[in-house]
A = this chain, B = another copy of it.
Amino acid sequence: MFADTEFSGKHMILDIKEIKNKEFLIDFSKMMELLDQICDTHQFTVLQKVSHKFEPAGYTLLYLLSESHISIHTFPERDYIAFDIYTCRQYSSNRVYDEIHAYLVDILDAKYEAPRIIDRVF
């Protein structure tokens, strides 16, 4: 437990590997549904979304949240997604992020690895 004033928020960095639900690697509208659901569940407010599809496959998706951002870069040829979420919420534990991580691993049918959660410091 830390004083509210010391942290600008929490940042979770996920290298999501060995994804077996491969649709999510190529279909960003499917991923957007998933992200929208996560944002809804955890009351993150989505202000803007941008996406870009790369050739031959893979995409980038950025969500600008009123609580900060989510970024996704997919590498279909490697069954891998680089996922980041940073929120300025003053969470006193990693529980919400652990839940998001467990949910992503479950839905994507990916390898479980401990998430990397970083306290961003003012």
A residues apposed to B, CB below 8 Å: 8-9, 11, 13, 15, 17, 47-48, 50-52, 54, 60, 62, 64, 66, 68-69, 71, 73, 75, 78, 80, 82, 84, 86, 88, 116, 118, 120-122
- Of B51, B68, B71, B78, which is within 8 A of A8 by CB? B78
In the complex, the chain B residue whose C-beta lies closest to that of A47 is B52
Measured CA separation A82–B54 after assembly (Å) = 27
- Chain A contact residues: over half helix, strand or loop, or mixed? strand
Selected A-B contacts with CB under 8 Å, 12 pairs:
A8-B75, A8-B82, A15-B120, A47-B52, A50-B64, A52-B64, A62-B71, A71-B71, A73-B88, A78-B122, A82-B120, A84-B84
